[in-house]
Structure 1
Amino acid sequence: MCGAGDAGGAVRTAIPRPATGTAVDPVALEPVDEVVLTTLVDNVFDALLAGGEGVVRAPLNSGQVLAALFEDGRTSTGLRAEHGFSALVTVRRGTSTTTLLFDTGISPDGMTDNADRLGIDLAGVQGVVLSHGHFDHTGGLAGLADRTGPRSMPMTVHPLAWTRRRIAAPGGDVFELPTLSRRALEAEGFEVVERRQPSLLVDHCVLVTGEIDRTTDYERGMPPSHQAWDGTEWRHDPLILDDQALVVHVRGRGLLVLTGCGHGGAVNIVRHAMRLTGVDRLHALVGGLHLSGPAFDPVIPPTVRALTELRPDLLVAGHCTGWRAQHALAAALPEAWVQGSSGTRYTLAAA
């Protein structure tokens, strides 16, 4: 919903429904010369992780704050970790460079604080892509609006991102998730572009997948406790149809697939990206894969098998992936696996 004053029409537009229209297939995604991806927010910050080729870690002294009990009145804070995800994506093709923000974390100031500590000027962001409407990926929009000021900022979003949702676990408390407000976003200067189908951004160099084709028999989505309001009652919302990924074709290497939570299923998402683009090589998979918790334990083995067959060069499965899946993926793909951490910068260059 878009606020307490909305009624009938706003309720109906937020009802989850099947995708309409045909997919754009194939999509002519132009290859790029370089992608620099910086994780601004993840569930983990580990200042002792080692870097490597194309991987630069944020040091423990990334932030300095006032602290009277230290001799010089200051202390180092490192970066913030929170249950959310946000990544800064800079794409270079020839002499042209564009920077997009993919998701914004859960808190209003977590993403902006980390950007400050990394020396990143968010005024350089040229557009926002939201993976889906869950609040742990959209909470930082308030901080971004404060930081960039009153200017038009294009935002690509699925029209179901405004869906009212809740978690109603059997025998537990009911938690209604904070719902993103389109009206408030537009008042802050965001130019909302709703798309259910694939979108090409940045001179056809960045693909936003739109709705994911569900083709595997094991990636079945969220358990019954995840519900959406259909205008009359709460119903099970397993698919989270607004889930979408960002895709870049690194010249001579293959696809970078960036997910928020990966509610569409990691394997479904990668296969969907390959089908849309006609590129049959997965170079990198980065982001949340939502394999955490008992409901998803059975999904881990077939996901690991499928990703092992896809043989990515880089695999960074963070946020909601869960420790069981992370350990399984790290064991199966040791050459590709890199542990995620807030503040890490990944550089993917053309062959």
Structure 2
Amino acid sequence: MLTITEVYNNIPCREGLTTDWGFSCLIEEAGLLFDTGAKGDVLLSNMQVLGIDPAGIRYLVLSHDHWDHIGGLEAVLAASPSMKVFVHDAFSEKTLGLIRSYAEPRIIGEWTEITDGIAVTGPLGTGIREQSLAVAVPDGYLIVTGCAHPHIGRIVERVSREGAVWGVIGGFHTVSGEDIDALAGVEYISASHCTDKIGELQERYPGSFRPGGVGKVHRIG
């Protein structure tokens, strides 16, 4: 069983948690945190409510260097300074310097497996460069995105070179018609955070769509 819990999101899903613009989720079995939301106090508060100890985080993967995905960075690093941190070459020296005050960041340039069954795509896109997670599940890969600035269709295309794309969760940002078409055949779709066409995705793929939000727990396998 794979358990992915959304610990930061501007979309509500569970009572007792704080909603705030940003995104972060935890792959519980791997101790892997993906992004950190916008505010460290909100992130840590939500983790506490969810019964998650940040000291148990072993890996931190950052998708891109935007405030609503790295704002909780220092709070997480202080709570678990021995974690391994994965970024890419588009991160600023300011962000890298903050990470280096706790741990040496690992700069990802291409598809890289960071722990058993979990890989990082490496940075995609020519404008806002961003990387996503590809998590091995029984029927292929589950993609986890921060904002999908390179477009979700481009990310799906990259991961599909490694194997079938079974699911996609996270922020999809600006969704084009081509992006919606690219999700045909994907069995698990959970768009949230910055996605501009959640309604259209739900209408097009009613059997695959799952609402996302802070406190949402994705149980797979």
Shorter-chain TM-score tier: over 0.9
**Structure 1 residue 239, shift from structure 2 partner:** 1.6
Taking structure 2 as the reference length, the TM-score comes to 0.94
**Structure 1 residue 154, shift from structure 2 partner:** 1.0
Equivalent residue in structure 2 for 1:240, among 125, 128, 137: 128
Equivalent residue in structure 2 for 1:210, among 83, 108, 122: 122
Equivalent position SS for 1:191:
coil
- Are 1:154 and 2:84 matched, yes or no? yes
Task: Give 2:103's aligned amino acid.
Answer: F
Aligned to 2:191: 317
Equivalent residue in structure 2 for 1:46, among 10, 13, 24: 13
Equivalent position SS for 2:67:
coil
Aligned to 1:133: 65
Gaps of 5+ in 1: 1-33, 48-59, 61-77, 92-97, 164-179, 215-237, 292-298
Write the distance in 2 (CA, Å) between the matches of 1:272 and 1:305: 15
Structure 2 matches for 1:193-232, cutoff 5 A?
Answer: 193-203=106-116, 205-212=117-124
Write the distance in 1 (CA, Å) between the matches of 2:51 and 2:26: 13
Rg comparison, structure with higher value: 1
Aligned to 1:191: 104
**Structure 1 residue 161, shift from structure 2 partner:** 1.3
**Aligned-residue CA RMSD in angstroms?**
1.6
Write the distance in 2 (CA, Å) between the matches of 1:329 and 1:80: 26
Equivalent position SS for 1:181:
helix
Task: Give 2:187's aligned amino acid.
Answer: D
Equivalent position SS for 2:68:
coil
Structure 2 matches for 1:1-351, cutoff 5 A?
Answer: 34-47=1-14, 60=15, 78-91=16-29, 98-148=30-80, 151-162=81-92, 180-187=94-101, 189-203=102-116, 205-212=117-124, 239-241=127-129, 243-251=130-138, 253-275=139-161, 277=162, 279-280=163-164, 282-291=165-174, 299-307=175-183, 309=184, 311-322=185-196, 325-349=197-221
**Structure 1 residue 90, shift from structure 2 partner:** 3.0
**Structure 1 residue 87, shift from structure 2 partner:** 0.5
Task: Give 1:286's aligned amino acid.
Answer: I
Aligned 8 A contact 2:156 2:182 in 1: no
Write the distance in 2 (CA, Å) between the matches of 1:333 and 1:132: 28
Write the distance in 2 (CA, Å) between the matches of 1:246 and 1:254: 13
Write the distance in 2 (CA, Å) between the matches of 1:104 and 1:211: 18
Q: Percent identity?
A: 31
Gaps of 5+ in 2: none
Taking structure 1 as the reference length, the TM-score comes to 0.60
Aligned 8 A contact 1:317 1:340 in 2: yes
Equivalent position SS for 2:65:
coil
Write the distance in 1 (CA, Å) between the matches of 2:171 and 2:189: 11
Equivalent position SS for 1:113:
helix
Task: Give 2:47's aligned amino acid.
Answer: A
Q: Runs (4+) of structure 1 moved beyond 3 Å?
A: none
State the Cα deviation string for residues 80-129 of structure 1 (Å, max 9, x = none).
Answer: 111100000134xxxxxx21000000012111110001111111111100
